[in-house]
């Protein structure tokens, strides 16, 4: 009987992996950002999408420069960010 209760450790099942991505939030441009502009915190909001840059990286990005033009509503990708100088 105790074997049927399992070990009490919660795990993500293989069938849940794809659905799990849909519940993550990522950084999205809150306005049109021009190439060469320095990022500030208000340039982004969070949105549920399947990929992008996680919010935990926000403070790494603030103060860096846009490598490309980023239209409002576009999901932020690492290709949009210039390497720090």
Q: What is the mean pLDDT of residues 65-76?
A: 96
CATH number belonging to the domain at 19-80, selected among 1.10.1060.10, 3.30.465.10, 3.90.1210.10, 3.40.50.1100: 3.90.1210.10
Q: How much is the pLDDT for 4?
A: 73
Q: Report d(CA 43, CA 33) in Å as an integer.
A: 8
Q: Report d(CA 7, CA 67) in Å as an integer.
A: 49
Q: What are the extents of the domains in the chain?
A: 19-80
Instruction: Give the strand pairing for 44-48 and 25-29.
Output: antiparallel
Query: Which tens digit of pLDDT belongs to each residue from 18-42?
Result: 776 667 899 999 999 999 999 999 9
Q: How much is the pLDDT for 21?
A: 65
């Amino acid at each position: 009987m105790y074997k049927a209760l399992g070990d009490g450790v919660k795990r993500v099942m293989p069938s849940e992996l794809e659905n799990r991505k849909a519940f993550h939030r990522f950084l999205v441009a809150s306005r049109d950002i021009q190439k060469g502009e320095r990022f500030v915190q208000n340039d982004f909001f969070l949105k549920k999408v399947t990929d992008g840059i996680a919010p935990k990286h926000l403070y790494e990005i603030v103060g860096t420069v846009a490598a490309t033009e980023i239209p409002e509503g576009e999901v932020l990708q690492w290709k949009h960010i210039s390497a720090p100088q």
